[in-house]
Amino acid sequence: MSIHPSAVIAPGAVVPASCTVGPYSTIGPDVVLDEECVLISHVVLDGRTRIGKRNMFYPFGAIGVAPQDLKYKGEPTETVIGDDNTIRECVTISRGTEGGGGLTRIGSGNLLMAYVHIGHDSIVGNHCILANAATLAGHVVIEDYASVGAFSPVHQHCTVGQYAFIGGGTIVTQDVLPFSLTSSRRENKAFGINKVGLTRRGFSPERLQTLQKAFRTLLAAKLNTTQALEKIKAMEGEDAAILATFVERSQRGIIK
């Protein structure tokens, strides 16, 4: 086990021998690490926090700390992190609250760039990218393969759909459509599908064509949302069904 003499590991913490704990890092008594995690230096792991394999924590991150919620009174809530995440400098991840389900969850294979904040009771899926200073208020859901641009705040209770790409500096106050390219110029708009990102993820030309047709129906056709969804549901392929289901389940409305 590689533990720097200046690191502080509380009794009760679980730190496997394959982990590396760098200078001035602190690990609380209820933290459980899996194999091959690396804390480079000055990392704080706190609260009831369970962390998977091969996670890399860069300096000055604060993970599993108490939520920024005045209603929180020290309840034993949790933070759960999957495998193979890269968590860069000054990232903050708050544990859950009793009123929000008691759990903040991060999946696997994510890149959280410097100064990202993930608020209490948020859920981040797998293979997501949150660019510098992206900020998730409490109760936000980021689905698999989504990207949130730099300096983009996401309002409480919003959902960012799978494979969505949010441009930098976009203020997100409604749900972001899956597969979409959404950005802010003078106002937030969905500009169709995230074609470059979807192609990089292996989407076939046929899948892209179906998604383009579905997005034109939803965003550009002279139809109300109910009429557009009827046409989208009639299209072939799982992707169109995912898009229609996302719109129907939205609680905050969608960015069109």
d(C-alpha 43, C-alpha 127), whole Å: 23
Work out the angle at residue 247's Cα, subtended by the Cα atoms of residues 244 and 249, and round it to the nearest 5 degrees: 110
186 burial via Cβ count (<10 Å: 0-12, 13-18, 19+):
exposed
State the catalytic residue, choosing from 117, 120, 175, 197: 120
Catalytic-residue membership of 138: yes
Catalytic-residue membership of 120: yes
202 burial via Cβ count (<10 Å: 0-12, 13-18, 19+):
exposed
Catalytic-residue membership of 155: no
State the catalytic residue, choosing from 30, 121, 175, 239: 121
Residues 6+ positions from 254 with CB-CB distance below 8 Å: 174, 175, 176, 177, 190, 246, 247
State the catalytic residue, choosing from 28, 96, 138, 192: 138
Q: Which residues are known catalytic residues?
A: 120-121, 138
